[in-house]
Structure 1
Amino acid sequence: MSESHTLPFLREALVFLTLSGILIPLLQRLRVNQIVGFLAVGVLLGANGLALWIDTFPWLAHITFHETEGVAQLAELGVIFLMFMIGLELSAERLWALRKWVFGAGTAQVLLSAACIGVLAWAFGNRWPNALVLGLVLALSSTAVVVQLLTQRQALGTPLGQATFSVLMLQDLAVVPVLILIDLLGPRGAGDDVGTAVGLTVLKSVLVVGLIVVFGRRLIQPVFRAFAQQRQPEVFMALTLLISMSMAGLTAAAGLSMALGAFLAGLLLAETEFRHEVEITIEPFKGLLMGLFFMSVGMGIDVRAILHDPVWLPLSVVGLIALKAAIVAVLFRAGGLSWGRSIEGGFLLGQGGEFAFIVVGVAAASGLMDRQTVQFILLVVGLSLFVTPMLARWGASAGEALDARVRGPRDTTVVDEADVSGGHVVITGFGRVGRLAADVLSRQGVPWIAVEHDAARVAQWRSEGRPVFYGNAARPEMLQKLHVDRAAVVMVTMDQPAAALHAVQALRSACPHVPVVARSRDEDHARELLDAGATVVVPEAVEAGLQLTASALQALGVPDAAVAHTIELERGARKAL
C-alpha cells in the first residue's frame, strides 16, 4: 500500500508562485497597478470565477483556487506584513514634519467622510453600529494603490503627493481605533452589562498596547543592535520576521487583532536606526504575501452579484468616489493647493481601501455584519480599486486643464517642512571623515543624511540626534530610501577600499546624474573609483603628504602664496596621473 506525501496547499502555492512570476513582470510592462491585477486574477481564478466550470472542464481544477481555505490562511500573513510596513512608515519624526496635513486635513477627511457615509448607511436601514463601522471603513482609502500611483508618476515629493500621503498616514493610524471599536460593538461587547463589557475591552486594549510599547521600546533596539553586529543578513531577516509575528501573536492571545500587533511592531521599529534596513529586508515577503492577500480578496468577490444588482452596486461605487473626492478636494483647496491639484487629490483618494477587507472580515467574524453586507462592501471597494488608476489619470488631466484655465494659487506654500525631498547631501560611512563632513555641513546649514553599517556607531550618533541610519550603501534599495536621486551630492567616506568601490558602483548605476565625491586610500584606489564613476576623488595619502609638505615649507619661511601655488600645482599633477 503506497502513501502519497504532499505538503498542505502545495498546488495552491505552485499556482500562485507561477502566476506571480508571470503576472508581476507583465503588469510592470503594461504599467498596470499590481493590486488591481491581483484582484482581477483572484476574481477570474477563484471559486466564483472559472472554478464554476470545473465539472464541465475538469482540467480547470489544476489552475484555479476552488478550495480557498488554504489561500485565506496564507493571506492572513499578507495582512500582518501590510500592517507592519504601515507602522514602519509612521515614525514620529515623519508625523511631526507633516503634522499640519496629517492631523488637520487627515482628521477632517476621516471624520467628515465617516459621518456622511454613516448617515447614508443608517438612512438605508442599517443599525447604528453597522452604519458607524461602514462609515469609518469606507472613509479610508488605499495606501498601497495611491502610493504606487504617485511613485510611478514621481509625484510623491510634490506638494500634492505630500498632502495625499499625509491623509493616508492619518487613515493608517485610524485603523487601530476602528479595530478596537469593532471589538466593543460586537456581541462580546453587547451583553447584559454593556458598560462593564466596554470598560473591560478598553482596559484590556490599553494595557496590552501599553505593555507592548513600553517593553518593545526597551527591548527591540538593543536586540537589533546586538544582532546587527554580526552583519549576517539571514539573521537580520529572521529577527525581523520574529518581531513582527511575535507581536501579532501577543495581541491575538489577548483577544485583539493580529493586525494591531504587527502595526505596533512596525511603529516601534520606525523609531530606530534600523527602519530602512528592515523595510528592504521585508520587501520581497511583503510583495508576495500582499499579492496573495489581494488575490484572496478577489476570490471572495462574486461577479454574479453585480448582474443581480446592476443598479445599486454601480451607484454605490460612483457615490462613494464622488463623496470622498468632493470632501478631499475642498480640504486640499482650503490647505493651499490649487483647484486643479485639489480635484486630482480627490480622485486619488476617492476609492475604498485595502483595510476595508481587513476590517470587514473582523466585523463579520465578530458577528457585527452579515454575509450579504460584507459581500456588498467587498464588491464596492473592489470595483472602486479597479477604476482608481483610470480616474487618477483623468483627474491629473482635468486638474492640469483647470489650473491652466483658472490660474489658481501656486502650490509652493504646502508642506515646506517635509522629510528631505531634494537638495540634501548623502554621506555614506559615518566614521571620522563622515562626522567631520557632517559637522561642516551642519554649520553651513546644509541638510544631510548618513548611512553606516556599524550598528554600535549608528546607535552612538543617533543618541545625539543625528540623522544616521543603519544599512549598506551598496544596496540600491537603501539608496532609494535615502532619496539619493534627489540629492545635491553624495559623499563616499568609508575607509574600506572595497566598500567604497561597491558604493560608487551602486550610486552610479542607480543615479547617473548625481555628483559623487569619494575618499580613496591611495592613488591606485582613486583610479578605481574614477573608473567606477566617481565625480571627484580625494586620495587621503596624497592629501596628507601635501598638507605635511605645506607645513614644512611654511616652517622654512616660504611665503604662503608660494606654498599655496606649489601645493596646488602638485595636486593638479597628481589628479592628471
Structure 2
Amino acid sequence: MHFSEMLIDVLVFLAASIAVVMVFKRVKTSAILGYLAAGVIVGPAGLALVKESDSLHILAEFGVVFLLFMIGLEFSVSRLKSLLKYVVGLGGLQVVLTAAIICAVAMAFAIGSSPAVIIGGGLALSSTAFVLQLLSERGERDTPHGKIALAILLFQDLAIVPLLILLSVLAADTQTSFLASLGIAVGEAALSLGIVYVLGRVMLRPIYRSIALTGETDLFVGATLLLIIGIGLFLSLFGVSMALGGFLAGLLLAETEFRHQIEADIKPFKGILLGLFFMTVGMAIDLKLLVDNIGLIVGIVVALLVGKTLLIALLGRMFGLEGGTALRVGMLLSQGGEFGFVLFISAGSLGVIPEEHVQLLLTCIALSMGTTPFLATLGKKVESVLCNRKLGTGGFGDDIQEGSSGHAIIVGYGRVGQTVATLMHEMGLPIVAIDRDVKRVQSLQVDDNQIFYGDANQISVLMSMGIKNARCVVITIDEPHGANKIIQAIHQIVPDMKVFVRAKDVAHVRWLEKNISVKAVPEAIEGSLQLGTIVLKDFGIEDTVAVKIVNDHRENLYLNLDDYPDS
C-alpha cells in the first residue's frame, strides 16, 4: 500500500509539473519558479494532493546529486585547481563571516547561543541546485561569475560536514569534544575522497572501454548510475554529502574520452529528479505560517538577501573581482540553500532549535530560493552598468575564461576524419572529434587530440560537444543512412549550421542536395580523380600539367553533376 501511495504521489508530481511549468515557460519565466509553484499547489499548503514522505525527499535529493555530477563532467582537475583559491579562500571566508554575523544578530534577538550558531551556519549556505540550474538554463555556467559561484558553492557543500558535527556536539552538550570530533571527521572525509579519487583514476577508463566494446548503450547508463550512487553512498558513510560525491564522480569521468556520451545518457535523469527537488522545496512553503507572520518572514528574507549580497560582493572585491561582477555573484548566492533544510530539520529533531522556529526558517529559505531568478536577472543588469560592457561578458583573470567557440566538429575519425583533422591541426584550427569505435578512440586519445567516444545521432551528445557554438560539422562516416540521421539531428538544434558530408556516391549527393542543405563530396568522383592523377603522372605527364587537367575536370564534373551516373 505504501508503494502504491508513493506511485500516486509521483504521478501527481509529474502531472502538476508538466501543467504548471508549461504555463510558466509560455510566459517566458524560469522553469524553476514553475516547479516551486507546482509544489505549493499540490503540497500541504495548497490542495494537499501529496503528503510529505521520506521516499519523495530521497528521490528529490538525487536530483542535486545528478546536477553536481553533470557539473563535474564539464570540469577537469586542472580547471578545478585554477579555482582553488576561490573555493578555499573566497568560499571559506564567505561561510565563516556570514555564519558569524547571522549568529550575532540572532543572539541580539534573545535566541540562545546553541540555536543561534546553527541558524548562522545554515543560512550561510546557498542553493547549489537553484543557482547551477539557473546558470545552465541561461548558458552562463562557463562565465566568470558562473565559475566563481560554483567555487563558493563547492566550499559550502564541504561546510555541511563540520556543521552537522557541531550540531551533534551541541545536542549532546559536550562542548569540549567539538575540535576532536571535527578533526576525526575531516580526516575520514579526506581519506575517503582520496581513496575514491585514486581508484577512479586507475579503474574507470578500463571499465568504460570494456563496456563500450560491447556496443550496449544500456550498460553505459547502468554503469554510470552505479558509479554516481555508489560513490555518493560510500562518501556519505564518512560524512561527505552525496552531492559532493556526485561532483567527484563527474570530475573523474571528465578525464576520459567517454564524457560526452555519458552526459547525454544521464541528462534525462538529472532533469526529472531535479524538477522533483524544486517541487519538494515548494511544498516546504507554509502559506498559513506565512500569512500569520508575514512581517517577520519578509524581514528575515530581505535581511538575508541584502546581507549576503553585500558581504559576498565585498569579499569578491578583495579577491580581485570587478565591482559589478562581485555584486552579480552576491545576488546569485544570496538565498538560503537545500543543506539549510537538512541542518534545520536535524536541529529540530534533536531539540537544538524549537520546532516553531524550524518551520519559520524553512519557509524563509524556500521563499529566498524563489527570488533567485529575479535577482540573477537584476545582477546581470547591474554588472552591465557598473562594468560598462555588454551583458554576459566577463574577464577578471586569465584562470577563468569564456567557453570556446568557432570549432569544427568531426563526426567519424577514420582515415577520412583523421586526414581532415590533420589539415586543420597544421593550420592551428580548433576541432573536436567523435567516433563510436572505442578501440580507435583509445588508440588516438592523446593530449593534443580532442577525440571522444559517443553517438552523434543523439541531440544531447551534439549539445555536449558545443554544437551551438561550432563553426561547422564535418561528417566523414561511410554510412549514408547514418549520415542523413546525424544531419537531421544537427539541423534540429542549429538549422543554419554548415555541414560538410562525405557522400558514398553521386546518388547520395543528389539526395542530400535535394532534401538537406549541405555541402557533399562524393567518394566515387574524388577517388576516380585521384586515381587519374596517378595514371597521368605514370605516363610522364608533368605534375603541374596533371594537376591542372584533373582540377579542370573536377570543376566541370561538379558543375554538371546531374549528368554523372549514380555509381
Describe the superposition over 1:417-450 as per-residue Cα deviations: whole angstroms up to 9, x where unpaired: 6364211121112222222332332332222212
**Following the alignment from structure 1 to structure 2, what is the Cα–Cα distance between the partners of residues 127 and 452?**
62
Determine whether 1:269 maps to 2:262.
no
Determine whether 1:483 maps to 2:480.
no
**What is the CA-CA distance between 1:507 and the residue it aligns to?**
1.4
Describe the superposition over 1:10-49 as per-residue Cα deviations: whole angstroms up to 9, x where unpaired: 3212211211332332232222222222222222322233
Counterpart position of 1:84? 66
Contact kept in structure 2, 1:88 and 1:269, CA below 8 Å: no
Which moved further from structure 2: 183-192 or 471-480?
A: 183-192
Secondary structure at 1:537's aligned position in 2? strand
Matches within 5 A, 1:109-148: 109-123=90-104, 124-125=106-107, 134-135=119-120, 137-148=122-133
- Structure-2 change in CA distance of 1:166 and 1:366 (3 Å): farther
Secondary structure at 1:49's aligned position in 2? coil
Contact kept in structure 2, 1:141 and 1:354, CA below 8 Å: yes
Determine whether 1:458 maps to 2:458.
no
Counterpart position of 2:203? 219
Matches within 5 A, 1:371-382: 371-382=355-366
Contact kept in structure 2, 1:491 and 1:516, CA below 8 Å: yes
Secondary structure at 1:229's aligned position in 2? helix
Counterpart position of 2:218? 234
**What is the CA-CA distance between 1:360 and the residue it aligns to?**
4.5
**What is the CA-CA distance between 1:371 and the residue it aligns to?**
3.6
Describe the superposition over 1:555-575 as per-residue Cα deviations: whole angstroms up to 9, x where unpaired: 333344432332122222332
Which moved further from structure 2: 518-527 or 454-463?
A: 454-463
**Following the alignment from structure 1 to structure 2, what is the Cα–Cα distance between the partners of residues 184 and 362?**
11
Q: 2:547 aligns with which of 537, 543, 564?
A: 564
**Following the alignment from structure 2 to structure 1, what is the Cα–Cα distance between the partners of residues 446 and 343?**
38
Contact kept in structure 1, 2:149 and 2:329, CA below 8 Å: no
Across the aligned residues of Structure 1 and Structure 2, the Cα RMSD in angstroms comes to 3.4
Q: 2:419 aligns with which of 436, 450, 455?
A: 436
Give the structure-1-normalised TM-score.
0.84
**Following the alignment from structure 2 to structure 1, what is the Cα–Cα distance between the partners of residues 352 and 417?**
57
Counterpart position of 2:401? 418
Q: 2:286 aligns with which of 297, 302, 306?
A: 302
Contact kept in structure 2, 1:97 and 1:419, CA below 8 Å: no
Tell me which amino acid in the other structure corresponds to 2:148.
V
- Structure-2 change in CA distance of 1:92 and 1:389 (3 Å): closer
Determine whether 1:7 maps to 2:19.
no
Contact kept in structure 1, 2:410 and 2:474, CA below 8 Å: yes
Counterpart position of 2:43? 46
- Structure-2 change in CA distance of 1:369 and 1:450 (3 Å): farther
Determine whether 1:250 maps to 2:234.
yes
Tell me which amino acid in the other structure corresponds to 1:38.
Y
Describe the superposition over 1:514-571 as per-residue Cα deviations: whole angstroms up to 9, x where unpaired: 2212222222223333345353222233222212211222333334443233212222
**Following the alignment from structure 1 to structure 2, what is the Cα–Cα distance between the partners of residues 108 and 233?**
42
Tell me which amino acid in the other structure corresponds to 1:47.
P
**Following the alignment from structure 1 to structure 2, what is the Cα–Cα distance between the partners of residues 402 and 194?**
44
Determine whether 1:448 maps to 2:445.
no
Secondary structure at 1:418's aligned position in 2? coil
Counterpart position of 1:501? 484
Tell me which amino acid in the other structure corresponds to 2:58.
E
Secondary structure at 2:424's aligned position in 1? helix
Which moved further from structure 2: 223-232 or 524-533?
A: 524-533
**Identity of aligned pairs, percent?**
32
Secondary structure at 1:68's aligned position in 2? coil
Counterpart position of 1:75? 57
Contact kept in structure 2, 1:119 and 1:131, CA below 8 Å: no
- Structure-2 change in CA distance of 1:542 and 1:284 (3 Å): same
Contact kept in structure 2, 1:449 and 1:467, CA below 8 Å: yes
**Following the alignment from structure 2 to structure 1, what is the Cα–Cα distance between the partners of residues 554 and 121?**
66
Tell me which amino acid in the other structure corresponds to 2:9.
E
Determine whether 1:178 maps to 2:159.
yes
**Following the alignment from structure 2 to structure 1, what is the Cα–Cα distance between the partners of residues 383 and 155?**
29
Counterpart position of 1:25? 22
Counterpart position of 1:16? 13
**Following the alignment from structure 2 to structure 1, what is the Cα–Cα distance between the partners of residues 99 and 538?**
83
Secondary structure at 1:7's aligned position in 2? helix
**Following the alignment from structure 1 to structure 2, what is the Cα–Cα distance between the partners of residues 466 and 169?**
28
Determine whether 1:554 maps to 2:551.
no
Mind listing any 5+ residue stretches in structure 1 that lack a counterpart? 52-63
**What is the CA-CA distance between 1:369 and the residue it aligns to?**
5.1
- Structure-2 change in CA distance of 1:147 and 1:175 (3 Å): closer
**What is the CA-CA distance between 1:481 and the residue it aligns to?**
0.9
Matches within 5 A, 1:350-389: 350-358=334-342, 360-361=344-345, 371-389=355-373
Contact kept in structure 2, 1:425 and 1:491, CA below 8 Å: yes
Secondary structure at 2:433's aligned position in 1? strand
Describe the superposition over 1:278-328 as per-residue Cα deviations: whole angstroms up to 9, x where unpaired: 222222222222222222222223223333433342222222222333344
**What is the CA-CA distance between 1:145 and the residue it aligns to?**
3.6
**Following the alignment from structure 1 to structure 2, what is the Cα–Cα distance between the partners of residues 520 and 549?**
20
**Following the alignment from structure 2 to structure 1, what is the Cα–Cα distance between the partners of residues 117 and 422?**
53
Secondary structure at 1:9's aligned position in 2? helix
Contact kept in structure 2, 1:183 and 1:366, CA below 8 Å: no
Tell me which amino acid in the other structure corresponds to 2:61.
V
- Structure-2 change in CA distance of 1:357 and 1:545 (3 Å): farther
**Following the alignment from structure 1 to structure 2, what is the Cα–Cα distance between the partners of residues 249 and 452?**
33
Counterpart position of 2:310? 326
**What is the CA-CA distance between 1:166 and the residue it aligns to?**
0.8
Secondary structure at 2:257's aligned position in 1? coil
Tell me which amino acid in the other structure corresponds to 2:439.
A
Counterpart position of 2:300? 316
**Following the alignment from structure 2 to structure 1, what is the Cα–Cα distance between the partners of residues 2 and 81?**
56
Counterpart position of 1:58? none
Secondary structure at 2:428's aligned position in 1? coil
Secondary structure at 2:29's aligned position in 1? coil
Contact kept in structure 1, 2:411 and 2:417, CA below 8 Å: yes
- Structure-2 change in CA distance of 1:543 and 1:252 (3 Å): same
**Following the alignment from structure 1 to structure 2, what is the Cα–Cα distance between the partners of residues 356 and 213?**
28
Q: 1:165 aligns with which of 146, 149, 160?
A: 146
Contact kept in structure 2, 1:36 and 1:385, CA below 8 Å: no
**Following the alignment from structure 1 to structure 2, what is the Cα–Cα distance between the partners of residues 74 and 357?**
15
**Following the alignment from structure 1 to structure 2, what is the Cα–Cα distance between the partners of residues 426 and 177?**
37
**Following the alignment from structure 2 to structure 1, what is the Cα–Cα distance between the partners of residues 387 and 233?**
50
Matches within 5 A, 1:510-529: 510-529=493-512
Tell me which amino acid in the other structure corresponds to 2:22.
P
Tell me which amino acid in the other structure corresponds to 1:74.
L
Determine whether 1:470 maps to 2:453.
yes
Q: 2:78 aligns with which of 73, 96, 99?
A: 96
Give the structure-2-normalised TM-score.
0.85
- Structure-2 change in CA distance of 1:10 and 1:78 (3 Å): closer
Tell me which amino acid in the other structure corresponds to 1:462.
Q
Contact kept in structure 2, 1:80 and 1:262, CA below 8 Å: no
Contact kept in structure 2, 1:508 and 1:533, CA below 8 Å: no
- Structure-2 change in CA distance of 1:213 and 1:147 (3 Å): closer
Matches within 5 A, 1:327-346: 327-330=311-314, 339-340=323-324, 342-346=326-330
**Following the alignment from structure 1 to structure 2, what is the Cα–Cα distance between the partners of residues 259 and 324?**
23
- Structure-2 change in CA distance of 1:117 and 1:252 (3 Å): closer
Describe the superposition over 1:87-139 as per-residue Cα deviations: whole angstroms up to 9, x where unpaired: 34235954634765x33455454234323321222212267776666555444
